[in-house]
Chain A
């Protein structure tokens, strides 16, 4: 590994580091800009003095990364001061996606940033339409929970800075095909190709081929999921293989006309056109840059270093859009390519496989996976453990489909009937791919959930990989690797023996309750699991989409206890949804006065998974890891008004001198019953999302909290109630998850430290 022959690798690394720093340290952009200028002047000076200016230049690159990163991340959006205001916009529609009953699309008003619009009902506009839309501007939310999804960043990466949710009658289509001629041309080509596939192939097959060839990404969710489980999702991205294939094909054509030496000026523009047709995903941009550099190098008689080329591609993409660094597609595409370039040979040298062809395929797969595993774990919290097999078996078949797909796309633009024949040949091959994927995906435990490893382990992992490919001798490699192993073990041991605090996280699960406790000895306790009422109709699942990712992030898939306050969906829904994905030692629930559907489902899953369930009532005390839970309700006096809410499990958690009162959704009847108990606490989990049916003044006075937390999301019940909020604010420091995101309480039993996810 010499760095001299791949200078852009260093540039790419320093640029990326700069962008990452800008995300975690908010530094004044003007200040950064001044440092950038100083370092540039210094490096020019050293260059003129004929001294080595490499380090100074790289420093300038890193600072440049910080400048463009900070600018992209933290600059004010154009719509920031229109939040929650009713506004109308005229703009061109793109990226239309229609699902049953609603349509999502991007609106680009002239000279303004893009808006993501969700339209329910009415006439859905098509790509390229000029529309007028009237609605309330919403700003996308950043990360709401630790380890959660950063929607704001996700949208900003695509240039979108606002959201709008509208009904059909708020949208007026002014003009069809109002985009520029070039955009329309590419769109028409794309639509024509997709149409050719869909008229001559079954839907799933056509979707698959158009994804592979054009990066359409409209494959059905269950198929997409089976690709993920088998670890072959990469095949539905527009990849380097597509570009390699196109290049070879065009070389062949040029050869026929004896103009092969003009390959660069002819092929590169065609590859760029193809990239634009695919909508320029990062993997395609990477491939087109790498292919162009190879072509240019051979035509000007220069040496082309693929590692340098892939690094150059990264530098180009990041310079234009630094946020791409946080794009999972970008990360996987570049890391996989780099891994293959660096690790292919070392892996091949180690493997002992007789068949040379098989050995090559296995080496490529293993090389790519070695590099991408940490990224996969970080982003998806799971890995496919069988992926080698599907990759070796299915990927070669996919290449046949790609070739046929390309031929049919090209021919179809000129003469459709011939394309139909090619598609008919392609159909059984695609069917085979989908069939094999389904078989592999059905293997039990094909994909396993993995908790997010500590960051230093990832660094160690990559260092170890780097050492493996370095030119060190075998003995030295062994020495360094064992050193790394010992260090990480030591850190792991030391960090686990340091006494820790009790950490209580009031999660932002939208409308609903969920609290997670990490005890000083590292035991995991969950109190309620959120979950939206089912009639909402969206496929969003709090359990799978918020709770499970959070638990995986916290390395907490073994839950020592779950407390369920009551069986309303916004408390138990998330728990029901994740019980299959986590291990639970025991579940505590209040004594039930009536057994509803949710309760029956809980009993069913618990008995299937052999989780003991304890019904608690007033007077019970539980101690887990030195923390006591005094159960205060339900008592033997059953409350008949709103029985599910009022007979909820209420308990006071006491850790040394700190106490928290968990109240579920109790209302004033239950509050009255509790008023003479020992309810005074440092922290109050405000009852029933701050509703005016609970939190009577005398109850709050009696609890007398220093801190109160309302867990609430967007709802139509008027929660939290204005009066309640006002009174709580006057008595205590108030946090609410709809404004603050997750609220994290950290205590050693005496002092309480509070952090909030949003605006802190």
Chain B
């Protein structure tokens, strides 16, 4: 590891303002400005709400996963950071995000047996070179010392969800995932990992196929959670 650090030394400046820092990825000032989720949150999807237990969305639509935890709100800063993580090859950000996710999941005090990343379609993987959800899952797996498994395949290359409404999203994703082996998930509680949770339809679709294949329960964890659509 020390040799890798010598060959490919980690950056020593803040990922947001570029200022030189001693350790870590972000300077104290910038960290203070990150949109951490705090206060009252929806007990299902983890979005911040003013009052009550569930957000209006979750009251209207039943989710298949039991609970989702996010560390940040999906504001402009997070949007650009996650874009850098996903599209601009800044894979080292995985560690940065996972650190906060780890804290939030630990605080939520949930028990799970296996960590599963939301898969990427092969074509996307070829293009991007890596699956960002898998990088996060791996980092979390180190931190919790809980096994990561990749039982899911994305068998359909779905269109980008960003412009879609809730109904269109669900439709778009129908039959997109498949469980390719069940040993690791049968009667297990699963922590699904993805980058952003907006309506939760992607995670729902994954949770559905996982449960169909015998998973006991499904939790989810994402970097950030978007506003309701």
Please list the residues of chain A having a beta carbon within 8 angstroms of any beta carbon in chain B: 2, 4-8, 255, 258-261, 263, 293, 296-305, 308, 312
Interface residues of B in 117-156 (CB under 8 A from A): 122-123, 125-130, 135
Interface residues of B in 1-31 (CB under 8 A from A): 4, 6-12, 20
Name the residue on B nearest A259 (C-beta).
B126
Selected contact of B9 from candidates A263, A298, A305, CB within 8 Å: A305
Name the residue on B nearest A261 (C-beta).
B129
Contacts of A305 in B (CB 8 A): 8-9
Contacts of A8 in B (CB 8 A): 6-7
**How distant is B42 from chain A, measured CB to nearest CB, in Å?**
33
Determine if B89 is an interface residue (Cβ-Cβ < 8 Å). Answer: yes
Contacts of A296 in B (CB 8 A): 8
Contacts of B4 in A (CB 8 A): 302
Q: Are A258 and B126 in contact (CB under 8 A)?
A: yes
Q: Are B10 and A303 in contact (CB under 8 A)?
A: yes
Q: Are B129 and A303 in contact (CB under 8 A)?
A: no
Contacts of B130 in A (CB 8 A): 261, 301
Asked, given contacts A4-B12, A5-B12, A259-B126, whether A301 binds B135 with beta carbons under 8 Å apart, the answer is yes
Asked, given contacts A260-B126, A260-B127, A260-B129, whether A302 binds B12 with beta carbons under 8 Å apart, the answer is no
User: Complex: how many Å from CA A298 to CA B8?
Assistant: 10
B-side interface size class: 20 to 34
Name the residue on B nearest A307 (C-beta).
B9
**How distant is A54 from chain B, measured CB to nearest CB, in Å?**
12
Name the residue on A nearest B8 (C-beta).
A302
Name the residue on B nearest A7 (C-beta).
B6
**How distant is A573 from chain B, measured CB to nearest CB, in Å?**
55
Q: Are B123 and A5 in contact (CB under 8 A)?
A: no
Determine if B92 is an interface residue (Cβ-Cβ < 8 Å). Answer: yes
**How distant is A648 from chain B, measured CB to nearest CB, in Å?**
67
Q: Are A303 and B126 in contact (CB under 8 A)?
A: no
Name the residue on A nearest B5 (C-beta).
A7
Determine if B178 is an interface residue (Cβ-Cβ < 8 Å). Answer: no
Q: Are B129 and A5 in contact (CB under 8 A)?
A: no
User: Complex: how many Å from CA A258 to CA B120?
Assistant: 14
Determine if B166 is an interface residue (Cβ-Cβ < 8 Å). Answer: no
Q: Are A303 and B125 in contact (CB under 8 A)?
A: no
Q: Are A312 and B20 in contact (CB under 8 A)?
A: no
**How distant is B131 from chain A, measured CB to nearest CB, in Å?**
10
Contacts of A301 in B (CB 8 A): 89, 91-92, 94, 130, 135
**How distant is B33 from chain A, measured CB to nearest CB, in Å?**
23
Contacts of A7 in B (CB 8 A): 6, 9
User: Complex: how many Å from CA A259 to CA B129?
Assistant: 9
Selected contact of B123 from candidates A2, A258, A293, A302, CB within 8 Å: A258
Asked, given contacts A2-B20, A293-B7, A308-B7, whether A298 binds B12 with beta carbons under 8 Å apart, the answer is no
* Pairs across A and B, CB under 8 Å, 30 listed: A2-B20, A5-B9, A5-B11, A7-B6, A8-B6, A8-B7, A255-B127, A258-B122, A258-B123, A258-B126, A259-B126, A260-B126, A260-B127, A261-B125, A293-B7, A293-B8, A297-B8, A298-B89, A298-B129, A301-B91, A301-B92, A301-B94, A301-B135, A302-B4, A302-B10, A302-B91, A303-B10, A303-B11, A305-B9, A308-B9
Contacts of B123 in A (CB 8 A): 258
User: Complex: how many Å from CA A300 to CA B10?
Assistant: 13
Contacts of A299 in B (CB 8 A): 129
User: Complex: how many Å from CA A4 to CA B20?
Assistant: 10
Q: Are B12 and A2 in contact (CB under 8 A)?
A: yes
User: Complex: how many Å from CA A8 to CA B130?
Assistant: 28
User: Complex: how many Å from CA A683 to CA B212?
Assistant: 106
Q: A301-B92, A303-B10 are in contact. List 20 more A-B contacts (CB 8 A).
A: A2-B12, A2-B20, A5-B9, A5-B10, A5-B12, A6-B9, A7-B9, A8-B6, A258-B123, A259-B126, A260-B127, A261-B129, A261-B130, A301-B89, A301-B94, A301-B130, A302-B4, A302-B92, A308-B7, A312-B7
Contacts of A302 in B (CB 8 A): 4, 8, 10, 91-92
User: Complex: how many Å from CA A11 to CA B177?
Assistant: 50
Contacts of B8 in A (CB 8 A): 293, 296-297, 300, 302-305, 308
Determine which residue in B8, B10, B92, B129 has the highest number of CB atoms from chain A within 10 A of its CB, and name it.
B8
Contact with A along B43-87 (1 / 0, CB 8 A): 000000000000000000000000000000000000000000000
**How distant is A288 from chain B, measured CB to nearest CB, in Å?**
15
User: Complex: how many Å from CA A2 to CA B91?
Assistant: 23
**How distant is A225 from chain B, measured CB to nearest CB, in Å?**
41
**How distant is A623 from chain B, measured CB to nearest CB, in Å?**
65
Contact with A along B91-131 (1 / 0, CB 8 A): 11010000000000000000000000000001101111110
User: Complex: how many Å from CA A296 to CA B4?
Assistant: 11
User: Complex: how many Å from CA A261 to CA B129?
Assistant: 4
User: Complex: how many Å from CA A297 to CA B9?
Assistant: 10
Name the residue on B nearest A6 (C-beta).
B9
**How distant is A186 from chain B, measured CB to nearest CB, in Å?**
28
Name the residue on B nearest A260 (C-beta).
B126
User: Complex: how many Å from CA A318 to CA B207?
Assistant: 57
User: Complex: how many Å from CA A5 to CA B13?
Assistant: 9
**How distant is A9 from chain B, measured CB to nearest CB, in Å?**
10
Name the residue on A nearest B11 (C-beta).
A303
Q: Are B9 and A261 in contact (CB under 8 A)?
A: no
Name the residue on A nearest B93 (C-beta).
A301
Contacts of B91 in A (CB 8 A): 301-302
Contacts of A298 in B (CB 8 A): 89, 129
Contacts of A303 in B (CB 8 A): 8-11, 92
Contacts of B89 in A (CB 8 A): 298, 301
User: Complex: how many Å from CA A163 to CA B106?
Assistant: 74
User: Complex: how many Å from CA A306 to CA B6?
Assistant: 13
Contacts of A293 in B (CB 8 A): 7-8
**How distant is A161 from chain B, measured CB to nearest CB, in Å?**
34
Contacts of A308 in B (CB 8 A): 7-9
**How distant is A306 from chain B, measured CB to nearest CB, in Å?**
11
**How distant is A253 from chain B, measured CB to nearest CB, in Å?**
13
User: Complex: how many Å from CA A296 to CA B130?
Assistant: 14
User: Complex: how many Å from CA A301 to CA B8?
Assistant: 10
User: Complex: how many Å from CA A7 to CA B2?
Assistant: 11
Contacts of A297 in B (CB 8 A): 8
Determine which residue in B4, B91, B92, B94 has the highest number of CB atoms from chain A within 10 A of its CB, and name it.
B91
Name the residue on A nearest B129 (C-beta).
A261
- Nearest 8 pairs of A and B residues by beta carbon: A301-B91, A302-B8, A258-B126, A261-B129, A5-B9, A5-B12, A303-B11, A4-B12
Name the residue on B nearest A304 (C-beta).
B8
**How distant is A254 from chain B, measured CB to nearest CB, in Å?**
9
Contacts of B20 in A (CB 8 A): 2
User: Complex: how many Å from CA A330 to CA B31?
Assistant: 44
Contacts of B6 in A (CB 8 A): 7-8
Name the residue on A nearest B126 (C-beta).
A258
**How distant is A353 from chain B, measured CB to nearest CB, in Å?**
25
**How distant is A617 from chain B, measured CB to nearest CB, in Å?**
74
**How distant is A388 from chain B, measured CB to nearest CB, in Å?**
31
**How distant is B121 from chain A, measured CB to nearest CB, in Å?**
11
Contacts of B92 in A (CB 8 A): 301-303
Contacts of A260 in B (CB 8 A): 126-127, 129
Contacts of B129 in A (CB 8 A): 260-261, 263, 298-299
User: Complex: how many Å from CA A603 to CA B12?
Assistant: 69
**How distant is B8 from chain A, measured CB to nearest CB, in Å?**
4
Contacts of B11 in A (CB 8 A): 5, 303
Determine which residue in B9, B20, B128, B130 has the highest number of CB atoms from chain A within 10 A of its CB, and name it.
B9
User: Complex: how many Å from CA A535 to CA B130?
Assistant: 70
**How distant is A335 from chain B, measured CB to nearest CB, in Å?**
22
**How distant is A16 from chain B, measured CB to nearest CB, in Å?**
18
